Amino acid sequence: MMRWKTWAAKPVGIVDLLDPRSSLPEWFGKQPSKPPILFWVAILLSALPAVLILIEAVRHGGNVLKWDFMAISGYTAVVTGLWLVRGQRRRMEGMVNRLADRRVLKLRETNRERLFDRSEEVACRWSHRGGVLISLLMLIMFPIAIVLRDTPDIVSLTIGGVATIGGVAAGYLVGRAIGRLVWYAFFWRFTDGGKINVQPRHIDGVGGLEPVGDYYFTHALLLAIPAAYLLTWSLLIPFWDEGLDYDHWRTLYQVLLAIAFGFEVLAFVVPMWRFHLIMKDAKADALEGVDKLSPRISALKRELAKELDSATRKSTQDDLDALVRSYREVEQMRTWPMSVRIRRFFAFNNAVILVPLILQLADVDGRWVKFADRIVNSGAG
């Protein structure tokens, strides 16, 4: 009991358990504080898609249309996401170190280590809470889906019970990863001792904050995995007339899709907005400074209009070019810590999620299905 309390107080997710830098002997030797049971759960979960395919092959043979593709694709998405989400702490520390090396984040190395330790303590708590939250959500969703079936029988109830256990276990691991990602969106409040020093003339064009945009963009991509799965099946279910009936999952998937979108907003939009405001203020201050260069620029242009010897003209032209370049660097500095390409991709990604979700809630796709059925029936008649 005491060991379990220790693990619960500072839980370890698949992010740490499946670290490719670690070997099996380390789990049972050098790292006794990490619960071996979670390691084996992670290994078994990784093999689950193959096990499900084998079960479906035994049950239905070559009739693949009767296979449970929703379960197979769902656990495949879970395993894929959990493997890709590994190493988030290292990525976060790498981002902070890059900002410090660029002198964008004024934080001493000793303060950085203290920041990382404090952040990890809170990240562990958020990770555990996220796991509990998502597992409870699965514990609610699966029984509701079973009840919503038209004719639930003993076989479907048994399969549903097993699926519920698997869904709760997968939900806990997924929730741990989500909880950690969401915390890293808020951990900047621990950097009170370090000031963000935006550099309007930095070569990256975003005030030296490009590592921030790159790091949080990976959050958006990782959280897009469950959203993509839920969106795909929300769109497919009305047209899925082969094999298993998934209609009872449609409304539940719409709810989960809205929740997944909310997590993406927390893990990506919130930190991006914070840095947008910082960069916007920094650009406004820098523009006030370079505006004072205008009289000097005008004076140099008037000077170049005069008759000058070659050395004086070259020196004057160099001074003018430097001032103009300085002005344009500030004027053209973006106020989002990411490239235009990433911003467009994120906007497109969210539109792909939001528009179908809104249309589904308005039952537009249901009307299209009925319209298509009428066309088919009239053609057959």
- How far, CA to CA in Å, does 104 sit from each of 61, 95, 96, 295? 60, 11, 10, 30
Residue 33 or residue 229, greater confidence: 229
Instruction: Give the DSSP H or E segment for 227.
Output: helix 210-236
pLDDT surpassing 70 at residue 186: yes
Say how many domains are in the chain: 1
What does the block give as tokens for 83? 């493997």
pLDDT of 14: 42
For residue 195, the cross-strand partners are 106
pLDDT surpassing 60 at residue 108: yes
Confirm whether 258 is domain-assigned.
yes
Which of 98-112, 203-217, 275-289 is predicted least confidently?
98-112
pLDDT surpassing 90 at residue 161: no
What does the block give as tokens for 144? 């509701």
pLDDT of 322: 85
Beta-carbon-side half-sphere exposure of residue 40 (alpha carbons within 13 Å): 4
pLDDT of 126: 92
Cβ–Cβ < 8 Å for 182, 266:
yes
Confirm whether 360 is domain-assigned.
yes
Confirm whether 308 is domain-assigned.
no
Confirm whether 100 is domain-assigned.
yes
Confidence band of 327 (pLDDT split at 50, 70, 90): confident
Cβ–Cβ < 8 Å for 137, 255:
no
Cβ–Cβ < 8 Å for 263, 227:
no
pLDDT of 181: 92
pLDDT of 304: 81
Confirm whether 311 is domain-assigned.
no
Rounded Cα gap, residues 262 and 112, in angstroms: 30
Residue 267 has a CB neighbour count (10 Å cut-off) of 25
Rounded Cα gap, residues 318 and 314, in angstroms: 6
Residue 107 or residue 50, greater confidence: 50
Read off the pLDDT of each residue in 84-113 and give the average, rounded to a whole number. Answer: 84
Domain, as residue range, for 149 = 2-295+325-375
Confidence band of 358 (pLDDT split at 50, 70, 90): low
Cβ–Cβ < 8 Å for 106, 194:
yes
Cβ–Cβ < 8 Å for 254, 361:
yes
Over pLDDT 90: what percentage of the chain? 7
Confirm whether 307 is domain-assigned.
no
Cβ–Cβ < 8 Å for 78, 45:
yes
Over pLDDT 70: what percentage of the chain? 73
pLDDT of 151: 63
How high does pLDDT run on average in the chain?
Answer: 76
* Pairing of the two strands 105-106 and 195-196: antiparallel
pLDDT of 137: 92
For residue 105, the cross-strand partners are 196
DSSP code string of 231-250: HHHHHHGGG--SSS--HHHH
Cβ–Cβ < 8 Å for 265, 231:
no
Cβ–Cβ < 8 Å for 287, 198:
no
**First and final CA of the chain: distance in angstroms?**
69
State the angle between helix axes of 270-291 and 154-186 in degrees (0 to 180), rounded to the nearest 10: 20
pLDDT of 198: 87
What does the block give as tokens for 366? 């249901």
Among 9-13, 129-133, 155-159, the range with the most confident prediction by mean pLDDT is: 129-133
Confidence band of 234 (pLDDT split at 50, 70, 90): confident
Tokens 């370890």 belong to residue? 12
From the number of C-beta atoms within 10 Å of its C-beta (0-12, 13-18, 19+), residue 88 rates as: buried
Confidence band of 283 (pLDDT split at 50, 70, 90): confident
pLDDT surpassing 50 at residue 285: yes
